[in-house]
Structure formats: C-alpha cells, structure tokens
Amino acid sequence: MINAPMRFTTTNYKEIFFKYDKDINILEIGPGNGHFIDWLIANGYKNITLIDIEEDNCRYLRKKYK
C-alpha cells in the first residue's frame, strides 16, 4: 500500500510512483476529472482502475479513457 500525501504536485507524483514498477495495479477513488490519471498514463502506468460514485463523472471518465 502506498501512503501518499493528500496534496499532489508533479514532484510528489515522481517521489511516490517512480520507485514502483510501471506494471503495478493502481486504484484511484474519486478521480475527479482525471488529471492524476492523465499524469500516470503519460508516465507509462497502465493498470489503473477508477471508482467514482457520481454517475455523471463516471460517464465523463468512461468517454475520456475509452
């Protein structure tokens, strides 16, 4: 399990994720509009699961990451 700070910046992302293999499974709960997911994808991470309870956001994210 990764204990990450609540406030992310690109520097924080690098400190947290670059030490892990790109094939790790990542679960993002409440991904908002997906900025963090965009960063993960741009840096080669592929095994990403998103969970959101807002139906409109789920539709938006499905369309964005189809």
DSSP letter for each residue of 2-44: ----SS--HHHHHHHHTTS-TT--EEEES-TTSHHHHHHHHTT
Do the Cβ atoms of 8 and 36 come closer than 8 Å?
yes
Domain boundaries, the chain: 25-64
Higher-confidence position of 21 and 55: 55
Residue-wise pLDDT for 1-50, tens only, equals 555 545 556 667 777 777 788 999 999 999 999 988 998 999 899 999 99
Q: What are phi and psi of 54, to 5 degrees?
A: -85, 115
Res. 62: pLDDT tops 60:
yes
- Report the pLDDT value the prediction gives residue 36, as an integer from 0 to 100: 87
| Euclidean distance between CA atoms 66 and 63, whole angstroms | 5
How far, in whole angstroms, is CA 51 from its chain's centroid?
10
